[in-house]
Chains A and B, each alone.
Chain A
């Protein structure tokens, strides 16, 4: 006689509730952003010892300090003017680079772009990451010799290059490399002088708004080109794929499946100049700078993969305004059994994830890193502001359903909260808590 099935241990809670799986994609994007910011804050606070801040080391000559290099002895208005000029020059450079990218993409130089990006990832990971590693080793007096660290760094960089554009690399590895690239670039960017950083962030947020929403903005053209050719963008994007890979493409519109369906927040990382004293345009780090763009992706299946008869190549996803839900677990199982080929879904489930461009990661982290140079309170306030801005952008995305810039709302909120916290909240809270009066 077969043994009876064991009763489920919890008799009343086997029903799944709707809040179990609501909001998975949003968290899937917010957690790498949070991890990136955390790493940047940790690196910046551990590397900025009192000795370096008091010494007058000249800031690196970069594209962002072409016109004016801030020094402590200038008056605030002079600094502001210089910062605005710097920011304008930087944004102009970025716009030019983006137009160049669009041109190359238009004339089908896609493989050139991809190789250029691979080179740039290698450059970032090896040389910029290497200098960070060197300063960390020095700061913490870690006993690691030069040849070993060289080999480790080289391996690290090569693996990063391999994972950037190839679909066969595990998604977790690719995501980690994207986050590391963003961390390295953000740490580098945070070394800019203070006024320049703030003005630059605001200028980039405005540029992002213009580039994505204006009809002739370069990013909008790029996104439309890519979607008309039905290809992936040749750019560095973070893809937040859901972890359970058994998602078949949902049959068009008949199921109550709503997901934030692949909104792509677009790519690109920014242009950062090398540390050499000669401001050489050609040596610019390949991360082409265009601020991120969010777009709704109508599927990104690889072209080889046109197998399933009942599923079209385009996943039409239904949007729920303001809410997002993944396929409930029950229905997933059902789909799995009904679909005829589930084995390839493991590899080609590229439809359901939000994509966020690396430029977003970098500039959010730059803002938080700059806040970290002041105080931990501002860090937390800016972190909350950025995360809520990101949440708002995602919600707007599900309402508007086309490309949206991810920088403006978050950066604006972040800057506002930084200055509010610094000017208003800090005297209040520090005054109260150092006297041990809390509420």
Chain B
């Protein structure tokens, strides 16, 4: 509606991401590089998806099933990419450890690895927020606002900002969970991540129903909260275990 509103929407979508960036990532240049490369990765996966779906667009917005197929394929593809990302991460970890041995410095700590995972996840979340929310926010800096037909109670920009916020949280922390899960080999964590992503994406399908966004938005926030909580429990457990194993020797 004005520049103030536009900036407000940007901050709603990106506020936690920016504070995470400023407090954790900006201090270590290597994490910034990780963030940039994971953003690039997500962008490339999105381009591939878009290329695959180009022939079928535009999708008629009244029917549900094209969108559900779209979401299933997209989420499946992205989760597959996440495994590839994890393999790259392992390779990088080995390279860094070899380098650390060569310069006789300590190897990567657990907190380092978690921070790397966090930076990777934040890159994905940032890319989502920029491509799905920020790029459409340019009219919000002007004098008017916009409402979607299906959701006449909340301005479009606010909905997309809140959805972007939810997804930023989900992407960021599911990367940490996923990396921990793959490293430790725990099935529960490995299954949780694609599951959470899929459920969150399916929740946005509710927005296609007229008036559905009133239900969809809170559900999405609950999903984001669940991911956050799960991640918290996981990290707490890992760190206390690590602490006890280290102090015991």
Contact = CB atoms under 8 A, between A and B. Distances in A.
A21 B135 contact: no
B143 interface: no
Given A391-B33, A425-B47, A19 B208 contact: no
Contacts of B39: 384
B74 interface: yes
Contacts of A16: 105
Contacts of B246: 12
A338 B60 CA distance: 73
Contact of A433 (B36, B49, B136, B138): B136
A387 interface: yes
Q: Which range holds the interface residue count of chain A?
A: 35 or more
A384 B61 CA distance: 31
A22 B30 CA distance: 6
A334 interface: no
B59 interface: yes
Interface string A225-245: 000000000000000000000
Nearest to B113: A19
B54 A323 contact: no
Contacts of B108: 17-19
B36 A431 contact: no
Interface stretch (B81-89, B94-102, B179-187, B228-236): B94-102
B147 to A, nearest CB: 12
A22 B208 CA distance: 46
A23 B207 contact: no
Interface in A423-439: 424-425, 427-439
A347 to B, nearest CB: 25
A380 B131 contact: yes
Nearest to A378: B135
A429 B138 contact: no
Contact of A27 (B32, B99, B138): B32
B188 interface: no
Contacts of A20: 28, 30
Given A18-B108, A428-B53, A435 B36 contact: no
Contact of A384 (B31, B40, B95): B40
Given A18-B108, A21-B29, A428-B54, A435 B197 contact: no
Interface in A1-49: 12-13, 15-24, 26-27, 30
A365 interface: no
Contact of B160 (A22, A385, A424, A433): A433
Interface in B52-96: 53-54, 57-59, 61, 67, 70-71, 74-75, 78, 95-96
Contact of B207 (A388, A417, A436): A436
Contacts of B31: 19
B33 A430 contact: no
A25 B60 CA distance: 49
B148 A434 contact: yes
A388 B37 CA distance: 7
B159 interface: yes
A436 B30 contact: no
A432 to B, nearest CB: 7
B9 interface: no
A387 B50 contact: no
B43 interface: yes
Interface in A407-428: 417, 420-421, 424-425, 427-428
A361 B208 CA distance: 44
B54 A256 contact: no
A27 B164 CA distance: 27
A424 B47 contact: yes
A21 B105 CA distance: 12
Given A18-B99, A19-B28, A437-B71, A428 B130 contact: no
A376 B134 contact: yes
Contacts of A431: 57-59
Interface in A380-406: 380-381, 384-385, 387-388, 391
Contact of B33 (A12, A27, A380, A425): A27
A438 B108 CA distance: 36
A70 interface: no
B46 interface: yes
Contacts of B138: 376
A-B interface, 6 closest residue pairs, ranked by CB to CB distance from nearest:
A436-B207, A428-B50, A439-B201, A377-B135, A27-B29, A23-B29
26 contacts: A12-B246, A17-B112, A19-B28, A19-B30, A19-B31, A19-B116, A20-B30, A21-B28, A23-B29, A23-B33, A27-B33, A30-B36, A256-B103, A328-B105, A377-B130, A380-B131, A388-B36, A424-B54, A425-B131, A427-B57, A436-B148, A436-B208, A436-B213, A437-B207, A439-B74, A439-B167
Interface of B: 28-33, 36-37, 39-40, 43, 46-47, 49-51, 53-54, 57-59, 61, 67, 70-71, 74-75, 78, 95-96, 99-100, 102-106, 108-109, 111-112, 115-116, 128, 130-138, 148, 150-151, 156, 159-160, 163-164, 167, 197, 200-201, 204-205, 207-208, 213, 216, 243, 246
Given A27-B32, A376-B135, 6 more contacts: A328-B105, A375-B135, A380-B134, A384-B36, A424-B51, A427-B50
